[in-house]
A and B are shown apart, each in its own frame.
Chain A
Amino acid sequence: AQSVAQPEDQVNVAEGNPLTVKCTYSVSGNPYLFWYVQYPNRGLQFLLKYITGDNLVKGSYGFEAEFNKSQTSFHLKKPSALVSDSALYFCAVRYGGATNKLIFGTGTLLAVQP
């Protein structure tokens, strides 16, 4: 079955430190991978995507993610965390076509302490 896993319910990091939010996936074929962020009482905001090409993808607000096909991972990273980065982060995968169903992980709450 196609799935996305975010193994950490919460990640805590001090402001200024690097952050990583983990995501692994299990799909047949070539996946399209996404990261979205959700602030309280807000919809999902797009951060970045991997479709094809360079495995290192740069996105909004200084975030980046690395597609690792052998490890079926797409971890989200940022070199220096900000308190304002505190939010709920979702990894998602689409497979089998550009408009096929998007499958979301369960989300990781990022808490950045000042």
Chain B
Amino acid sequence: EAGVAQSPRYKIIEKRQSVAFWCNPISGHATLYWYQQILGQGPKLLIQFQNNGVVDDSQLPKDRFSAERLKGVDSTLKIQPAKLEDSAVYLCASSLGSPQEFFGPGTRLTVL
């Protein structure tokens, strides 16, 4: 069974630029999560989708972050414009309605 795929793996941008990350969950997994992991901290949930609907986006900085999952499969997370403090690893995870999530390898973002 293929795992959660994410791209790109690494991204370096200047502040005020925009960036997008892509996630392809495990086939059939209805629930998709995006996490932000700042160096030295545990992952923090940004947004949770159930199929193509948003379940929880309470910790998503909506003035600059957006996410979509239009067809209930792949998802993109966008930051526009980026700030220095957005430097982090962005993790995507998926689940099949069970308590356990499966994580992708993450995208490491560096904002200069």
Is there contact, CB below 8 Å, between B42 and A99? no
Is there contact, CB below 8 Å, between B42 and A105? yes
Is there contact, CB below 8 Å, between B91 and A99? no
Binary flags per residue of A11-52, CB closer than 8 Å to B gives 1, else 0: 000000000000000000000101010000111111001010
Decide yes or no whether A1 CB sits under 8 A from chain B: no
Binary flags per residue of A58-100, CB closer than 8 Å to B gives 1, else 0: 0000000000000000000000000000000010101000110
Decide yes or no whether B72 CB sits under 8 A from chain A: no
Q: In the docked arrangement, what's the CA distance between A78 and B44, Å?
A: 27
Residue numbers in B under 8 Å from A36 (CB-CB): 103
Pick the most buried of A32, A45, A46, A102: most chain B CB atoms within 10 A of its CB.
Answer: A102
Is there contact, CB below 8 Å, between A99 and B104? no
Do A49 and B99 form a contact, CB below 8 Å, given A43-B106, A44-B91? yes
Is there contact, CB below 8 Å, between A102 and B101? yes
Q: In the docked arrangement, what's the CA distance between A102 and B70, Å?
A: 23
Q: In the docked arrangement, what's the CA distance between A49 and B100, Å?
A: 8
User: Number of B residues contacting the other chain (C-beta, 8 Å)?
Assistant: 27
Find the B residue at minimum CB distance from A101: B45
Q: Which residues in A have some Cβ–Cβ distance to B below 8 Å?
A: 4, 32, 34, 36, 41-46, 49, 51, 90, 92, 94, 98-99, 101-102, 104-107
Q: Which residues in B have some Cβ–Cβ distance to A below 8 Å?
A: 4, 31, 33, 40-45, 48, 50, 55-56, 91, 93, 95, 97-106, 108
10 cross-chain CB contacts under 8 A = A32-B99, A41-B108, A44-B91, A44-B103, A92-B42, A99-B31, A99-B55, A101-B48, A101-B56, A104-B42
Listed from nearest, the 6 A-B pairs whose CB atoms lie closest are A104-B42, A44-B103, A32-B99, A43-B105, A43-B103, A98-B99
Known contacts A46-B100, A102-B101; 11 additional CB pairs below 8 A are A32-B99, A42-B106, A44-B91, A46-B102, A90-B42, A98-B98, A98-B99, A99-B50, A101-B45, A102-B45, A106-B40
